[in-house]
A and B are shown apart, each in its own frame.
Chain A
Amino acid sequence: MAHPLSAVGDAREVARHWVARLASREMSEDELREFRSWHGASIRNSDAFRDERNRWAALENTQGVFQRSIAADKWRSRRIRAVWTSLGAAAATAAVAVVLLVNPFVGAFADYATHLGEVRTIDLRDGSQAWLNSGTALDLAYSDAERRVQLLEGEAWFKVRHAPEQPFVVAAGGVEVTARGTAFSVARGAGGDVSLKVTEGVVVVSRHGTPIMDVRAGEGVDFAAGERRPEMHSFREADALAWRDRKLVLAGVTLEEAAARINRYRRGHVLFWAAPEQKHVGAILTFDRLDEGLDALATSQGHSVLHLTPWLAIVR
């Protein structure tokens, strides 16, 4: 016997009905039987079902989009409770720095992007400013309800104009930082790690749509990918955000780590011929003379650097 629904609408619509029913987690035995007979009744039915089912599966990657949208809804409704007024209008700016995984084609689609070694300051249309570190891409999604900035890759520091009725939100992966008329920095590194540094006032951090903590000036928080617990740390603004002045401050790192940091600002690779010592090095390098800086660091450790091409240096 034909299912009564097969007379209604097209097969795709019926298939969608069955996907919803199968996902409802409360199908009865009779209903399941009904579904099986509809599915087996014609190739048209089973093809339509396969398409809708594959669509259901393909949505797996959109979880983050849902979470961000839902979080935005929640913020909008929470705003009514006037969380903001309690903080006063004294603090006028916020600063955010965010580092993301390198994703080679992201930059081409972004609203703003910088090349390797480039540092740029951008005036955002609400009067806030963004400093983009080397190899950074970000998208703006401003609405009446909020000023949303999506950091696609790299690192950025924001100076946010105070406008509590329209929160300034920086999203980096699953982490969202909402400025409460403050100054702060967020960073997301290799492997999906996100690191936040607050330089002024207070920010609210949300993870997967749920506000989880307040972070204050002088405090830093690292969110390791796949790790539930964030880790607190302190930082020196002059060092951590020196890139705004096109400077790289290296302190208490090994030569290998120093080379990795330097490589964020230049095109090319550094290969280690001999395993370098685990001794710590320190230096302040300017972006325009990174190669020389690398040479000096290596020499101080008893190595020499061979620049084979502008893109390949070998530390011997």
Chain B
Amino acid sequence: MSSIGDEPAPEPGEDDRLDEAYVRSHGDLVRFLSGRLHCLATARDVAQEAYLRASEAGVAINDPRAFLFRTAANLASDRRKAERRHAEILAEAAFWLEPEPEASPESVTLTQEEFARVSRVIERLPPRCREVFYLNRFEGLSQSEIAERLGISKTAVEKNVRRALAALGEGREK
């Protein structure tokens, strides 16, 4: 057993064997994962997570390297399932927000008078509210992305979106 860098060689124990396997095969593990996840940054995250999981497993590990790869493969597969599910949810949400094909053009477009009124409302919205709504509606940013970009809470983001919607819908012809 060799020491890593200038660290004093530790007594070989369960943890040390795992640590050593992780350090030695980190590059391979990341490459292995990036093939499954198609993203290097995610692969690095998952590799690290696999190591943490393995070190918390509390079981006797025969082959630490194989154990790491197995754990990593499971985590990668969970991630992919979650991503697929997330994509499905996004697609369904987008579907709900789309007007039904049989909707009349008048019901999904603004008349000239409405456009003028809505423009005035937009110009009178508080700047923060206006920007939040714009980023969400036209740039397609998620609420957390907006919260991060503007340095406000997610709750504040959603409140502003609802506020803009309410203001823009006021006085509409129905």
A residues lining the B interface (CB < 8 Å): 12-13, 16-17, 19-29, 32, 35, 50-59, 61-63, 65-67, 69-70, 73
Contacts and interface: CB of A to CB of B under 8 A. Distances in A.
B130 A24 contact: no
B167 to A, nearest CB: 11
Interface of B: 85, 89-90, 92-93, 96-100, 103, 107-110, 114-115, 118-119, 122-123, 125, 127, 130-131, 133-134, 136-138, 140-145, 158, 161-162, 165-166, 168-169, 172, 174
Residue among B118, B133, B145, B169 with most chain A CB within 10 A:
B169
Given A52-B165, A69-B122, A70-B131, A63 B93 contact: no
A189 B138 CA distance: 26
Contacts of A69: 122-123, 125, 127, 130
A23 B93 contact: yes
Nearest to A55: B169
A29 B89 contact: yes
B142 A24 contact: yes
A23 B97 contact: yes
Contact of A17 (B96, B137, B162): B162
B109 A61 contact: yes
B123 A65 contact: yes
Contacts of A17: 162
9 contacts: A16-B166, A24-B161, A32-B89, A52-B165, A53-B96, A57-B99, A62-B110, A73-B127, A73-B130
Contacts of B110: 58-59, 61-62
Nearest to B96: A22
A55 B134 contact: no
A22 B97 contact: yes
A167 B11 CA distance: 73
A24 B143 contact: yes
Contacts of B137: 23, 56, 59, 66
Contacts of A20: 158, 161-162, 165
Given A53-B96, A54-B108, A25 B166 contact: no
A67 B136 contact: no
B164 to A, nearest CB: 9
Contacts of B172: 55
Contacts of A28: 89
